[in-house]
């Protein structure tokens, strides 16, 4: 995941080296769908189940979805990651407006989602982000979901005790936390 986010790959076939980035442009949604699709196919082949699909964490659902699911909080579970925010308890509501300084609430989270998906995304370019053109340096401009609840949830989940808020708080380490995949499966459901 991180190689496509931090300039690990360059655009081929052009006289100068141009970055290839999937974040902060319209590539965000299709790249993550592609990434999860192949991840699901690989896992499905390992367990010999072609119907395998990743579960999604519906952090938009006020009926129990706005907390980290138990399977990710159980320290005996292989889905537990010790590099998560230690202030998150079983009853802590997700903060889809993380960094605003306001205490999270169901109403606030639903308001963030309404703005990200409906009122703030009246044009496709606002929802998806800036266009990305081959042969040009990317002009960064993420869409409403990427810049809003998606990124807020990454930062909220990451461990503030780590130098760079690993694991979920940084591109290079987010995929180390199993919750990354359920988080992005939910983001995919919005696309």
Q: What's the pLDDT tens digit per position in 112-144?
A: 999 999 999 999 989 999 988 888 877 778 999
Strand partners, 11: 18
C-alpha torsion sign, points 160, 164, 170, 175: negative
Indicate which residue of 132, 171, 180, 183 is catalytic.
171
Predicted confidence (pLDDT) at residue 3 exceeds the cutoff of 80? no
C-alpha torsion sign, points 179, 183, 184, 189: positive
Indicate which residue of 20, 180, 183, 184 is catalytic.
184
User: Rounded distance, CA 41 to CA 48, Å?
Assistant: 10
Q: What is the pLDDT of residue 153?
A: 96
Q: Which helix (H) or strand (E) holds 18?
A: strand 18-19
User: Rounded distance, CA 125 to CA 21, Å?
Assistant: 17
User: C-alpha 36: how far from its chain's center?
Assistant: 11
Q: With bands split at pLDDT 50, 70 and 90, how would you rate the model's confidence at 6?
A: low
Report which of residues 99 and 118 the model is more confident about: 118
Does residue 21 come out as left (phi exceeding 0), alpha (psi in the -120 to 50 range) or beta? Answer: beta
Q: Is 32 a catalytic residue?
A: yes
Mean pLDDT of the region 15-20: 77
Q: Is 183 a catalytic residue?
A: no
Predicted confidence (pLDDT) at residue 73 exceeds the cutoff of 70? yes
Q: With bands split at pLDDT 50, 70 and 90, how would you rate the model's confidence at 161?
A: very high
Q: Is 31 a catalytic residue?
A: no
- Asked if 130 and 141 touch (Cβ cutoff 8 Å), the reply is yes
> Could you give the 3-state DSSP secondary structure of residue 29?
helix
Indicate which residue of 1, 24, 28, 132 is catalytic.
1
pLDDT digits (tens, 9 = 90+) for 38-51: 999 999 999 999 99
Q: Which two tokens stand for residue 159?
A: 């461990």
Q: What is the pLDDT of residue 132?
A: 82
Indicate which residue of 32, 127, 128, 183 is catalytic.
32
Indicate which residue of 28, 127, 132, 154 is catalytic.
154
Q: Which stretches does DSSP call E strand in 33-108?
A: none
Strand partners, 102: none
User: Rounded distance, CA 166 to CA 83, Å?
Assistant: 6
Q: Which two tokens stand for residue 191?
A: 């696309």
pLDDT digits (tens, 9 = 90+) for 166-178: 999 998 899 999 9
Q: What is the pLDDT of residue 52?
A: 97
- Asked if 29 and 36 touch (Cβ cutoff 8 Å), the reply is no
Tell me which of 43-52, 93-102, 180-189 is least confident. Answer: 93-102
Q: With bands split at pLDDT 50, 70 and 90, how would you rate the model's confidence at 62?
A: very high
User: Does the 2-190 domain belong in CATH 1.10.1280.10?
Assistant: yes
């Amino acid at each position: 995941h991180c190689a496509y986010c931090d300039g690990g790959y360059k655009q081929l076939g052009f006289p100068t080296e141009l970055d290839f980035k999937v974040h902060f442009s319209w590539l965000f949604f299709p790249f993550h769908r592609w990434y999860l699709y192949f991840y699901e196919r690989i896992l499905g082949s390992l367990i010999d189940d072609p119907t395998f699909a990743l579960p999604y964490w519906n952090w938009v659902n006020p009926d129990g979805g706005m907390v980290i699911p138990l399977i990710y909080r159980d320290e005996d579970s292989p889905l537990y990651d010790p590099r998560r925010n230690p202030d998150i308890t079983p009853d802590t509501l997700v903060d889809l407006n993380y960094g605003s300084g306001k205490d999270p609430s169901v109403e606030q989270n639903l308001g963030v989602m309404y703005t990200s998906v409906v009122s703030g995304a009246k044009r496709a370019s606002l929802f998806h982000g800036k266009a990305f053109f081959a042969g040009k340096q990317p002009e960064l401009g993420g869409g409403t979901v990427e810049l809003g609840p998606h990124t807020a949830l990454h930062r909220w989940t990451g461990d503030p005790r780590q130098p760079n808020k690993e694991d979920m708080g940084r591109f290079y380490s987010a995929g180390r936390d199993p919750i990354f995949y359920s988080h992005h499966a939910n983001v995919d459901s919005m696309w």
